[in-house]
Every structure is written in C-alpha cells, then in structure tokens.
Amino acid sequence: MSEQPETYAAAAEVGAVRKRRTRLERAGLLLKSAPPSAWFGMIVVGFYILVAVFADVIAPYGEAQIHPIPFAPWGGEFMFGTDQIGRDVLTRLIYGARNTMGIALATTLLSFLIGGGLGLMAAINRSWLDQLLSRFVDVLMAIPSLIFALMLLSIFGSTVTSLIVIIAVLDSTRVFRLTRAVAVNVAVMDYVEAAKLRGEGLGWIMHREILPNIMPPLVAEFGLRFCFVFLTIAALSFLGVGIQPPTADWGSMVRENASLIQFAKYDLTAAITPLLPAAAIALLTVAVNFIVDWFLHKTSGLRDDH
C-alpha cells in the first residue's frame, strides 16, 4: 500500500476551507509557477505568433519580390542576403512564419476535428461503429504516414488544400486513437454511470461529464501533433512536394539555398543562410515541446491530488 502524505488526512480532520479562485486568478498563479523552460517556450511561441500576424508590417520587402542580385551577401540592404533568384531571405523568413505555421495550424485543427469527433463517438458508442473505425484506423496506421502522404500527393497534386486535407486525415488516426482511449477511460467511471442512471441524455454525458475530463491530455496532444504536422509539412516542402513556390515557406527555403553550404570556407554567413529556416523550425518545435512538458507535468499533478 502506498502511503499518502499525512496532510491529506489532516485536511479531513480540520476541514480546512480553501478559497475557490476565479479562472483568471488560477491562470495567474499557474504562470507564476512556470519553470524557466516553459517561460522560454511561451516567449518564443509568442514572438513567432507576432511575426506571423504582423508579417506585412515587419517584412522589409514583398513576399515574392525579386531583386536583381541573386545570392547577395549578408548585411547592408539585405540583412540575411538574397536567395537563388534574388528574393530577400529575411522577408521570406517572416512570411514563412505565417505560411508554414498557418498551414500546420489549419491541418492540426482539421485533424482534431475529424479524429477527436470520431474518437468520442467511438468511445461512447462502443459497438459496430467503434469496431469499424478502429479497424480502419489500424490499417491506415500500418502505412508510414510520410510515405502515405507522398503517395497521395502524387495523385492529388501538391496544392495547399490537398496538403492540408491529406495530412489532416492521416494525422487524425493518431488523434482518434488517443481521444478514444482517454474517453473510454473516462466513460467507464462511476460518475458517468451515475449520470446514465440519472437518465441524462447523450449530449449532457459527452459535453458535461466526459469532455471536461479529457481536455488536458487532448490539449497536450494538440501541441505535440502540431509539432509533428509542422515537421511533416516542412519535410514535404523540403522534398519539393509540399508548399509550392512562390509561397514563402521554411522547408522549401532550406532546399532552395542548400547549395550555399558548400561555400562555408569562403563565406560562413552564406553557408548559414539555408540553416536559418531550419533553425526557425527547430526552435519552434523545441519551444512547443517545453510548454507541453510543463503542461503535462501540471495536469498529471492535478490527477495525483485525488
């Protein structure tokens, strides 16, 4: 038998009154307790969002504006130089934030809409629908998702819409599995049975009893899935079958300027140019991971309390 800290039993004796705080106060306290890694994550993500939203204002040039000098060096007119056809790298980076993150976010949202909705339905229904969906998802997951995405892109072509839909559908299988698993765990709880015995309808049970209790793992999963989708899209764009030019995007920027690395001995800054978008991708995923780690730690701690 595991020992409980004695404060638990003491609270029962004294019946200590703990004042309930408003959501805002709770959020404030939560932020105060955030470790440095989480702060770092939040600041980075906040910065990225600002850049993405105000891309038009910040960017020194137009997204696809071509200047006469290709591969211009760093400094002066072009802070990070120009790319192979003379577009300003800084501008492309800024617009890339908007495009890459926007597409990844749309994809993740769609994937949660499909996977989360079906997962909840399967968890509550638990009959033929559950069987059908679960087997179907098993099969889809038997094909590596990048390979599947490549195959589907070869058929439907690399438009932004098909990219979003294809990746969202493939990724929704994982969301489905998780949602179904956590929802099934909650659906067998006595309080859900109590609600059924009370005569509550399906709407109440889903919305009031189950959903609030599966939110923390789903929110954490949203962060992780976003990273995964973001990296997949970057990889596809890098392979040349994702986001297509002239749309600025970090994955394809790496591909387009990769040859500059060869010149590291002569001009180190030029060689770093293709690494800038790659680093931008890595920084964002690290930041999101830090936040998710902290969030998971917080919410799992909440579960330990009772």
Partner 1 sequence: MNAVLATILKRLGLGFATLVVVSAIIFSSISMLPGDFGQAVLGQSATEETVAAFRKELGLDKPAVVRYFEWAGSVLQGDLGTSFSGRNASGQDRSRQVSDLVMPRLWNTLFLAGVTALIAVPLALFLGLTTALYRNSAYDRTVNAATLTTISTPEFFVAYILILFFASLWPVFPSLANVNATTDLGERLYRVALPALTLTLVIVAHMMRMTRAAIINLLASPYIEMARLKGASRSEIILKHALPNAWAPIATVIAFNLAYLVVGVVVVEVVFVYPGIGQLMVDAVTSRDIPVVQACALIFAATYILLNLTADIIGIVTNPRLLHPR
Partner 2 sequence: MTTEMNPKDGILLEMRDIRIDGYSDERWHPIIKGVDLTLRRGEIMGLIGESGAGKSTLGKAAMGYTQPGCKLTGGSIMFDGIDLAKASDREKRNLWGTRIAYVAQSAAASFNPAHRLIDQTVEAATRRKIRPDAESRTDAVELFRALQLPNPETIGSRYPHQVSGGQLQRVMTAMAMSPRPDLIIFDEPTTALDVTTQVEVLSAMRNIVEDFNTAAIYITHDLAVVAQMADFIKVLRFGEEVEEAPTREMLTKPEQPYTKSLWSVRSLEKPEVKGEDIVLSIDHVDASYGPLKVLHDVNISIPRGRTVAVVGESGSGKSTTARVITGLLPPTAGTVSFNGKPLPAALKDRSKDQLQRIQMIYQMADTAMNPRQTVYEIIARPLEFYLGLTGKAKEARVMDLLKMIELDESFIDRLPSELSGGQKQRICIARALAANPDVIICDEVTSALDQIVQEGILKLLLRLQKEFNITYLFITHDIATVKAISDGIVVMYRGKVVEQGLKSEILAPPFPEYTQLLLSSVPEMDPDWLTNLLEARPV
Chain residues that interact with partner 1, rule: CB under 8 A = 138-139, 142-148, 150-157, 227, 231, 234-235, 238-241, 251, 254, 258, 261-265, 268, 271-272, 274-275, 278-279, 281-282, 285-286, 289
CA distance 201 to 238: 49
218 makes contact with partner 2 (CB under 8 A) = no
Between 12 and 147, name the residue whose CB sits nearer to partner 1: 147
199 makes contact with partner 2 (CB under 8 A) = yes
Q: Which helix (H) or strand (E) holds 221?
A: helix 211-239
198 makes contact with partner 2 (CB under 8 A) = yes
**Residue 120 backbone class (left: φ over 0; alpha: ψ -120 to 50; beta: rest):** alpha
Query: Binding partner of residue 152 among partner 2, partner 1, none, CB under 5 to 8 Å per kind?
Result: partner 1
> What are the tokens at 133?
């969906």
Per CB under 8 A, the list member of 142, 197, 203, 265 interacting with partner 2 is 197
Neighbour tally for 192: CB within 10 Å: 19
Angle at 274 between CA 271 and CA 279, to 5 degrees: 110
> What are the tokens at 116?
């989360």
Given the rule CB under 8 A, which of 74-82, 84-92, 188-196, 246-254 is the region that contacts partner 2? 188-196
Query: Nearest CA to 176 among 118, 235, 127?
Result: 118
Per CB under 8 A, the list member of 47, 134, 158, 200 interacting with partner 2 is 200
Are the C-beta atoms of 226 and 135 separated by less than 8 Å?
no
Shortest distance, CB of residue 222 to partner 2, whole angstroms? Answer: 19
Between 61 and 80, name the residue whose CB sits nearer to partner 1: 80
Between 55 and 288, name the residue whose CB sits nearer to partner 1: 288
Q: What are phi and psi of 66, to 5 degrees?
A: -105, 125
